[in-house]
Amino acid sequence: MTITETKAAARRAAFAARKIAFAAGQGAA
């Protein structure tokens, strides 16, 4: 895996985690 691929994967994972956290917050509210 190249550096670029690693950075892109990390960004995708962070975005997905943020989306899940936001959805969980919406459900709690």
Please determine, for residue 29, whether its predicted confidence score (pLDDT) is greater than 90: no
Count structural domains, the chain: 1
- Which residues form the domain of 19? 1-29
What the block records as the tokens of 23 is: 């959805």
Q: What is the rounded CA–CA span in Å between residue 9 and residue 28?
A: 29
pLDDT band at 25 (very low <50, low <70, confident <90, very high): confident
Res. 16 pLDDT band, cuts 50 70 90: very high
Looking at the chain, the whole-number percentage of residues with pLDDT higher than 70 is 90
Query: Which amino acid, 6?
Result: T
pLDDT for residue 27: 78
pLDDT at 8: 96
Distances (CA, A) of 4 to 10, 11, 18, 20: 10, 11, 21, 24
Read off the pTM.
0.61
